Amino acid sequence: MADIQSSGQDSVYAKAAKEAVFAGIIAFGLFFLVVGFRTDQNINNELVLVQRWGLLAIFVAVAAIGRFIFAAFITPSREQAKLAKSKAPAAAKVDRRSLKAAVSRFGLALLFIYPFVVILILALIQFAVTGQWSFQSGVQGSLKYVDNFGIQILIYVMLAWGLNIVVGLAGLLDLGYVAFYAVGAYSYALLSAHFGLSFWLLLPMAGIFAAMWGIVLGFPVLRLRGDYLAIVTLAFGEIIRLVLINWTVVTKGTFGISGIAKATLFGIPFTPGPTGFAAMFGLPNSGVYYKIFLYYLILFLALLTAWVTIRLRRMPIGRAWEALREDEIACRSLGINTTTTKLTAFATGAMFGGFAGSFFAARQGFVSPESFVFLESAIILAIVVLGGMGSLIGIAIAAAVMIGGTELLRELEFLKLIFGNDFTPELYRMLLFGLAMIVVMVWKPRGFVGNREPSAFLHERKMISSEFTKEGHG
């Protein structure tokens, strides 16, 4: 018995070794040119080759060793786990709804106090290091965390929740969502620059403009399905961007529009002057208040999106969206007007994109077509799908992981100590982002939260397993 076991083990290792050699050969082929050689410009601006055989060897070795570990250890242990799971009696199903509710309530509470938690922690660290209780330094230091993590992540959460209405609920694949974001941002930038209108007036207007563009785009594409819809929405997003670049009279082209007016709190500006927020409340001057204000603003906007989505799902129009996603023909047979249903989905999703856009313009104080490239649409769509389409919590988790994770890479200065001073972790940000997208998708094809709660049910609410939910064809 033991003998068979050990010989089985040996053959596993032999097989793994074979696969490792194979992986090494493949990796050599892949990286031979692109890693083995580097092209550099010399003084005459001609390209010269620099050879990097050491790096190539490292790449090949990593591929081979990785493959060996995977084949020799990870795959057998995973198979055993699967075997054990199928032998074990079916465990009683745990009702995880209460747990989920608790988690989301806790998360929400944390979001509300997040800026103060950051300030407190930083002040405590300051206290521990210097022995001086200085609240102000905590306030100053929190700027980075509130801005780069809090606001940045929440913008993507909001955008992804907005896109979720189109993709997750109505099942229409939209690859040009960033166009509506751009419409919102530019309407705020232009109208506030030319007419001096305030943020609070322009926020709803930007949403309305974006919704109108959503309808304008929605009309021609109503007849299209699946990937044709995807390419036309992508084309639309590119058209908007190209117009923004080339219509220089209005948009100033690639230079962008700068000096956009900031948002105000009930008419109180966040300026250092005597009428400003800091002077009004007797606080020392600092840029932090505006950031914290923006944080709460985007939190409010994001929660508004979530609230509207939840409420709409219970209304006839929301049910019609989900029915449309599951089966368009059945929908039409039951008398649902698919035209208006699709158009409202486009318009509602676009409206939230417009809100987010005007917020973005107010936050940056600067907009340029650079910010509205296809990559942004792809990132937002990736967040929606990685989160588990239709699940608001899953999407928020995905946004936090993907955006927060890549933002975190900016902070990894200590890596310079390991890899030398030339090492810039930021360079690897998008590379790792792309790889993370692949890994997460292969690991969890249905996203972080794949299960769905039905919005309409008979007798009792049952969870729908991800295998039974559709993603729509349009």
Site of interaction with another protein (CB under 8 A): 26, 29-30, 32-35, 37-41, 45-49, 173, 220-221, 223-225, 227-228, 230-232, 234-236, 238-239, 242-243, 245-246, 329, 374-375, 378, 381-382, 385-386, 389, 427-428, 430-431, 433-438, 441-442, 445-446, 470-471
Least distance (Å) between residue 357 CB and another protein: 21
Q: How far apart are CA 402 and CA 168, in angstroms?
A: 19
Q: How far apart are CA 373 and CA 417, in angstroms?
A: 34
Give Cβ neighbours of residue 208 (< 8 Å, ≥ 6 apart): 351, 354
E-state strands within 265-377: 366-367
Supply φ then ψ for residue 442, to 5 degrees.
-70, -35
> Closer to another protein at the Cβ: 354 or 388?
388
Report yes or no: 259 and 365 within 8 Å, Cβ to Cβ: yes
Q: Which residues pair with 257 in a beta bridge?
A: 367
Least distance (Å) between residue 469 CB and another protein: 9
For the four alpha carbons of 303, 308, 309 and 311, in that order, the dihedral sign comes to positive
> Closer to another protein at the Cβ: 127 or 433?
433
> Closer to another protein at the Cβ: 144 or 473?
473
> Closer to another protein at the Cβ: 20 or 139?
20
In the chain, the amino acid numbered 166 is V
> Closer to another protein at the Cβ: 57 or 197?
57
Exposed, middle or buried by CB within 10 Å (0-12, 13-18, 19+), for 102? exposed
Least distance (Å) between residue 242 CB and another protein: 5
> Closer to another protein at the Cβ: 233 or 344?
233
CA angle 125, 127, 129 (to 5 degrees): 70
Least distance (Å) between residue 254 CB and another protein: 12
> Closer to another protein at the Cβ: 115 or 214?
214
Least distance (Å) between residue 33 CB and another protein: 5
Q: How far apart are CA 58 and CA 63, in angstroms?
A: 9
CA angle 254, 373, 287 (to 5 degrees): 70
Least distance (Å) between residue 5 CB and another protein: 29
